[in-house]
Structure 1
Amino acid sequence: MIRAAKLEDRNDISVLLLQLGYPDTESFIKENMERLLADPNEELMVYEAEGRVIACISLHYIPQLGMRGDIASISYLVVDSSIRSKGIGKELEEFAAASAKKRGCISIQVHCHSRRIEAHKFYERQGFKEAPKYFSKRLTE
Protein backbone atom coordinates (compact mmCIF):
# COMPACT_ATOMS: atom_id res chain seq x y z
CA MET A 1 0.00 0.00 0.00
CA ILE A 2 1.34 3.44 -0.96
CA ARG A 3 0.45 6.23 1.43
CA ALA A 4 1.67 9.61 2.62
CA ALA A 5 4.50 9.38 5.10
CA LYS A 6 3.90 10.28 8.75
CA LEU A 7 6.43 11.39 11.34
CA GLU A 8 5.92 8.01 13.02
CA ASP A 9 7.58 6.43 9.95
CA ARG A 10 10.87 8.19 10.55
CA ASN A 11 12.70 5.24 12.13
CA ASP A 12 11.81 2.92 9.24
CA ILE A 13 12.79 5.63 6.75
CA SER A 14 16.14 6.09 8.55
CA VAL A 15 16.82 2.36 8.12
CA LEU A 16 16.05 2.64 4.40
CA LEU A 17 18.30 5.70 4.05
CA LEU A 18 21.11 3.80 5.75
CA GLN A 19 20.81 1.19 2.99
CA LEU A 20 21.41 4.01 0.47
CA GLY A 21 24.56 5.05 2.33
CA TYR A 22 23.13 7.86 4.49
CA PRO A 23 24.11 7.01 8.10
CA ASP A 24 23.06 8.76 11.31
CA THR A 25 19.89 10.38 9.95
CA GLU A 26 18.07 9.73 13.24
CA SER A 27 19.45 12.96 14.74
CA PHE A 28 17.80 15.22 12.14
CA ILE A 29 15.20 13.22 10.19
CA LYS A 30 12.27 14.45 12.32
CA GLU A 31 12.99 18.10 11.47
CA ASN A 32 13.59 17.30 7.79
CA MET A 33 10.36 15.32 7.57
CA GLU A 34 8.37 18.08 9.31
CA ARG A 35 9.65 20.56 6.73
CA LEU A 36 8.92 18.23 3.79
CA LEU A 37 5.45 17.28 5.03
CA ALA A 38 4.49 20.96 5.52
CA ASP A 39 5.62 22.08 2.04
CA PRO A 40 2.97 21.88 -0.72
CA ASN A 41 5.73 21.40 -3.31
CA GLU A 42 7.03 18.27 -1.60
CA GLU A 43 5.60 14.78 -1.40
CA LEU A 44 6.99 12.02 0.80
CA MET A 45 5.34 8.65 0.26
CA VAL A 46 5.94 5.24 1.79
CA TYR A 47 5.11 1.70 0.77
CA GLU A 48 3.71 -0.23 3.69
CA ALA A 49 3.31 -4.00 3.87
CA GLU A 50 2.18 -5.96 6.90
CA GLY A 51 2.33 -2.83 9.06
CA ARG A 52 5.94 -2.05 8.16
CA VAL A 53 7.40 0.65 5.90
CA ILE A 54 9.50 -1.19 3.33
CA ALA A 55 10.09 1.57 0.76
CA CYS A 56 9.81 5.31 0.31
CA ILE A 57 9.99 8.01 -2.32
CA SER A 58 10.56 11.74 -1.96
CA LEU A 59 9.20 13.89 -4.77
CA HIS A 60 9.74 17.62 -5.27
CA TYR A 61 7.75 19.89 -7.57
CA ILE A 62 9.87 22.63 -9.09
CA PRO A 63 7.98 25.62 -10.52
CA GLN A 64 9.31 26.73 -13.90
CA LEU A 65 9.60 30.20 -15.35
CA GLY A 66 10.41 29.48 -18.97
CA MET A 67 8.25 26.41 -19.58
CA ARG A 68 4.52 25.80 -19.59
CA GLY A 69 4.60 23.14 -16.87
CA ASP A 70 6.60 22.35 -13.79
CA ILE A 71 9.21 19.64 -13.27
CA ALA A 72 8.98 16.86 -10.70
CA SER A 73 12.20 15.58 -9.19
CA ILE A 74 12.73 12.34 -7.30
CA SER A 75 15.39 12.85 -4.64
CA TYR A 76 15.12 9.51 -2.82
CA LEU A 77 13.61 6.23 -3.94
CA VAL A 78 14.58 3.24 -1.83
CA VAL A 79 13.17 -0.24 -1.37
CA ASP A 80 14.39 -2.42 1.49
CA SER A 81 17.36 -4.38 0.18
CA SER A 82 15.85 -7.70 1.28
CA ILE A 83 12.87 -7.36 -1.07
CA ARG A 84 14.13 -5.53 -4.15
CA SER A 85 13.20 -6.63 -7.69
CA LYS A 86 9.61 -7.44 -6.73
CA GLY A 87 7.98 -4.45 -8.45
CA ILE A 88 7.70 -2.15 -5.43
CA GLY A 89 10.10 0.47 -6.83
CA LYS A 90 8.19 0.36 -10.13
CA GLU A 91 4.91 0.97 -8.28
CA LEU A 92 6.40 3.92 -6.39
CA GLU A 93 7.90 5.48 -9.53
CA GLU A 94 4.63 5.07 -11.45
CA PHE A 95 2.74 6.60 -8.51
CA ALA A 96 5.16 9.56 -8.55
CA ALA A 97 4.77 10.00 -12.32
CA ALA A 98 0.96 9.96 -12.00
CA SER A 99 1.14 12.54 -9.16
CA ALA A 100 3.38 14.74 -11.27
CA LYS A 101 1.01 14.54 -14.23
CA LYS A 102 -1.94 15.52 -12.01
CA ARG A 103 -0.01 18.61 -10.93
CA GLY A 104 0.68 19.58 -14.53
CA CYS A 105 4.36 18.65 -14.62
CA ILE A 106 5.90 18.23 -18.07
CA SER A 107 8.67 15.90 -16.92
CA ILE A 108 10.05 13.95 -14.02
CA GLN A 109 13.75 13.68 -13.28
CA VAL A 110 16.01 11.90 -10.87
CA HIS A 111 19.60 12.44 -9.82
CA CYS A 112 21.24 9.08 -9.25
CA HIS A 113 24.88 8.83 -8.22
CA SER A 114 27.20 7.20 -10.74
CA ARG A 115 28.02 4.38 -8.30
CA ARG A 116 24.40 3.14 -8.27
CA ILE A 117 24.63 1.00 -11.42
CA GLU A 118 21.63 -1.20 -10.58
CA ALA A 119 19.51 1.89 -9.92
CA HIS A 120 20.48 3.26 -13.35
CA LYS A 121 19.18 0.07 -14.95
CA PHE A 122 15.92 0.40 -13.01
CA TYR A 123 15.37 3.99 -14.15
CA GLU A 124 16.13 3.09 -17.75
CA ARG A 125 13.53 0.30 -17.58
CA GLN A 126 11.09 2.90 -16.28
CA GLY A 127 11.67 5.06 -19.37
CA PHE A 128 14.16 7.59 -18.00
CA LYS A 129 16.88 8.81 -20.35
CA GLU A 130 20.26 10.11 -19.29
CA ALA A 131 20.19 13.92 -19.36
CA PRO A 132 22.91 16.49 -19.98
CA LYS A 133 25.54 17.24 -17.37
CA TYR A 134 24.52 17.86 -13.81
CA PHE A 135 26.69 20.20 -11.76
CA SER A 136 26.77 20.46 -7.98
CA LYS A 137 28.52 22.83 -5.63
CA ARG A 138 28.93 21.84 -1.98
CA LEU A 139 27.90 24.69 0.34
CA THR A 140 29.07 23.08 3.58
CA GLU A 141 32.14 21.13 4.52
Structure 2
Amino acid sequence: MHIRPAQSTDSFALISLLTELGYGGTESLMHTRLQQLIADPNEKLMVAEDRQTVLGFLSLHFIPQLAFSGDFARISYFCIAEGERSKGVGQHLLQHAEQLARERGCERMEVHCHDARIKANQFYAREGYSESPCYRIKSLATGA
Protein backbone atom coordinates (compact mmCIF):
# COMPACT_ATOMS: atom_id res chain seq x y z
CA MET A 1 0.00 0.00 0.00
CA HIS A 2 1.14 3.53 -0.65
CA ILE A 3 -0.23 7.03 -0.16
CA ARG A 4 -0.32 9.59 -2.94
CA PRO A 5 -2.09 12.85 -3.79
CA ALA A 6 -5.56 12.38 -5.26
CA GLN A 7 -5.94 12.79 -9.00
CA SER A 8 -8.91 13.52 -11.22
CA THR A 9 -8.91 9.85 -12.24
CA ASP A 10 -9.82 8.97 -8.63
CA SER A 11 -13.29 10.50 -8.92
CA PHE A 12 -15.19 7.20 -9.21
CA ALA A 13 -13.42 5.74 -6.16
CA LEU A 14 -14.04 8.92 -4.14
CA ILE A 15 -17.72 8.93 -5.10
CA SER A 16 -18.02 5.32 -3.91
CA LEU A 17 -16.25 6.04 -0.63
CA LEU A 18 -18.34 9.15 0.02
CA THR A 19 -21.45 7.03 -0.54
CA GLU A 20 -20.19 4.66 2.17
CA LEU A 21 -20.02 7.68 4.49
CA GLY A 22 -23.63 8.55 3.64
CA TYR A 23 -22.91 11.29 1.12
CA GLY A 24 -24.65 10.00 -2.00
CA GLY A 25 -25.31 12.04 -5.11
CA THR A 26 -21.84 13.56 -5.42
CA GLU A 27 -21.41 12.53 -9.05
CA SER A 28 -22.47 15.90 -10.50
CA LEU A 29 -20.05 17.96 -8.41
CA MET A 30 -17.09 15.60 -8.04
CA HIS A 31 -15.06 16.79 -11.04
CA THR A 32 -15.26 20.47 -10.04
CA ARG A 33 -14.66 19.86 -6.33
CA LEU A 34 -11.79 17.51 -6.98
CA GLN A 35 -10.06 20.07 -9.20
CA GLN A 36 -10.59 22.82 -6.60
CA LEU A 37 -9.12 20.74 -3.79
CA ILE A 38 -6.18 19.51 -5.84
CA ALA A 39 -5.29 23.12 -6.76
CA ASP A 40 -5.73 24.55 -3.24
CA PRO A 41 -2.35 25.07 -1.48
CA ASN A 42 -4.06 24.79 1.92
CA GLU A 43 -5.53 21.36 1.13
CA LYS A 44 -4.02 17.90 0.88
CA LEU A 45 -6.37 15.31 -0.58
CA MET A 46 -4.68 11.94 -0.28
CA VAL A 47 -5.59 8.41 -1.28
CA ALA A 48 -4.24 5.13 0.02
CA GLU A 49 -3.96 2.58 -2.74
CA ASP A 50 -2.77 -0.96 -3.29
CA ARG A 51 -2.13 -2.29 -6.79
CA GLN A 52 -3.93 0.72 -8.33
CA THR A 53 -7.03 0.17 -6.18
CA VAL A 54 -8.03 3.07 -3.93
CA LEU A 55 -8.56 1.73 -0.39
CA GLY A 56 -9.40 5.04 1.24
CA PHE A 57 -8.89 8.78 1.27
CA LEU A 58 -8.32 11.67 3.65
CA SER A 59 -9.01 15.36 3.03
CA LEU A 60 -6.81 17.62 5.17
CA HIS A 61 -7.06 21.41 5.41
CA PHE A 62 -4.40 23.74 6.84
CA ILE A 63 -5.84 26.72 8.71
CA PRO A 64 -3.77 29.69 9.88
CA GLN A 65 -4.33 30.93 13.43
CA LEU A 66 -4.31 34.60 14.29
CA ALA A 67 -3.33 34.30 17.96
CA PHE A 68 -0.78 31.45 17.76
CA SER A 69 2.41 30.93 15.79
CA GLY A 70 1.43 27.47 14.58
CA ASP A 71 -1.43 26.65 12.24
CA PHE A 72 -3.82 23.77 12.73
CA ALA A 73 -4.94 21.01 10.43
CA ARG A 74 -8.52 19.79 10.08
CA ILE A 75 -9.63 16.49 8.63
CA SER A 76 -12.83 17.15 6.73
CA TYR A 77 -13.39 13.73 5.15
CA PHE A 78 -11.74 10.41 5.92
CA CYS A 79 -12.96 7.04 4.72
CA ILE A 80 -11.50 3.59 4.34
CA ALA A 81 -13.40 1.13 2.13
CA GLU A 82 -15.62 -1.20 4.14
CA GLY A 83 -13.64 -4.35 3.30
CA GLU A 84 -10.31 -2.68 4.16
CA ARG A 85 -11.12 -1.40 7.65
CA SER A 86 -9.21 -2.70 10.68
CA LYS A 87 -6.22 -3.66 8.50
CA GLY A 88 -4.02 -0.65 9.32
CA VAL A 89 -4.86 1.39 6.21
CA GLY A 90 -6.62 4.13 8.17
CA GLN A 91 -3.89 4.31 10.78
CA HIS A 92 -1.23 4.60 8.07
CA LEU A 93 -3.17 7.31 6.22
CA LEU A 94 -3.81 9.26 9.43
CA GLN A 95 -0.14 9.09 10.45
CA HIS A 96 0.83 10.36 6.99
CA ALA A 97 -1.58 13.29 7.39
CA GLU A 98 -0.22 14.08 10.84
CA GLN A 99 3.32 14.14 9.45
CA LEU A 100 2.27 16.53 6.68
CA ALA A 101 0.69 18.78 9.33
CA ARG A 102 3.89 18.75 11.39
CA GLU A 103 5.92 19.64 8.30
CA ARG A 104 3.52 22.50 7.62
CA GLY A 105 4.07 23.85 11.16
CA CYS A 106 0.70 22.88 12.58
CA GLU A 107 0.42 22.68 16.33
CA ARG A 108 -2.65 20.43 16.36
CA MET A 109 -5.02 18.30 14.31
CA GLU A 110 -8.77 18.24 14.64
CA VAL A 111 -11.60 16.23 13.19
CA HIS A 112 -15.35 16.51 13.55
CA CYS A 113 -16.94 13.08 13.81
CA HIS A 114 -20.63 12.67 14.58
CA ASP A 115 -21.51 10.65 17.68
CA ALA A 116 -23.40 8.17 15.50
CA ARG A 117 -20.12 7.06 13.91
CA ILE A 118 -19.21 4.87 16.87
CA LYS A 119 -16.40 2.86 15.27
CA ALA A 120 -14.82 5.98 13.77
CA ASN A 121 -14.86 7.70 17.16
CA GLN A 122 -13.29 4.62 18.75
CA PHE A 123 -10.57 4.71 16.07
CA TYR A 124 -9.81 8.39 16.77
CA ALA A 125 -9.66 7.73 20.52
CA ARG A 126 -7.16 4.89 19.96
CA GLU A 127 -5.08 7.27 17.85
CA GLY A 128 -4.91 9.83 20.68
CA TYR A 129 -7.66 12.26 19.68
CA SER A 130 -9.67 13.68 22.57
CA GLU A 131 -13.17 15.07 22.55
CA SER A 132 -13.54 18.83 22.17
CA PRO A 133 -16.16 20.53 24.32
CA CYS A 134 -18.25 22.29 21.67
CA TYR A 135 -18.84 22.38 17.94
CA ARG A 136 -21.64 24.56 16.57
CA ILE A 137 -23.00 24.86 13.04
CA LYS A 138 -25.42 27.09 11.22
CA SER A 139 -26.84 26.24 7.83
CA LEU A 140 -26.44 29.02 5.28
CA ALA A 141 -28.60 27.28 2.69
CA THR A 142 -31.52 29.24 1.30
CA GLY A 143 -34.70 28.68 3.32
CA ALA A 144 -32.89 27.12 6.27
TM-score for the superposition, normalised by structure 2: 0.96
CA shift at 1:132, angstroms?
A: 1.6
CA shift at 1:82, angstroms?
A: 1.1
**Paired residues, what number?**
141
Aligned mates of 1:14, 1:67 — CA distance in 2: 36
Aligned mates of 2:19, 2:110 — CA distance in 1: 23
- In the alignment, is residue 7 of structure 1 matched against residue 8 of structure 2? yes
SS of 2:73's equivalent in the other structure is: strand
**Cα-to-partner distance string for 1:45-91 (whole Å, 9 max, x where unaligned):** 00111211110000000011001100000011100001110000000
> Where in structure 1 are there 5+ consecutive unaligned residues?
none
CA RMSD in angstroms comes to: 0.7
TM-score for the superposition, normalised by structure 1: 0.98
CA shift at 1:30, angstroms?
A: 0.8
SS of 2:61's equivalent in the other structure is: strand
The one-letter code of the counterpart of 2:138 is: K
**Cα-to-partner distance string for 1:77-132 (whole Å, 9 max, x where unaligned):** 10000111000000011000000000000000000011101000000000000012
Aligned mates of 1:132, 1:119 — CA distance in 2: 18
2:99 corresponds to: 98
1:139 corresponds to: 140
> Where in structure 2 are there 5+ consecutive unaligned residues?
none
Superposed structure 1 runs of 4+ greater than 4 Å apart? none
- In the alignment, is residue 16 of structure 1 matched against residue 24 of structure 2? no
Aligned mates of 1:17, 1:138 — CA distance in 2: 21
Q: Percent identity?
A: 45
SS of 2:48's equivalent in the other structure is: strand
CA shift at 1:139, angstroms?
A: 0.8
2:66 corresponds to: 65
Aligned mates of 2:8, 2:50 — CA distance in 1: 17
1:114 corresponds to: 115
Aligned mates of 1:119, 1:36 — CA distance in 2: 24
2:88 corresponds to: 87
Aligned mates of 1:64, 1:35 — CA distance in 2: 22
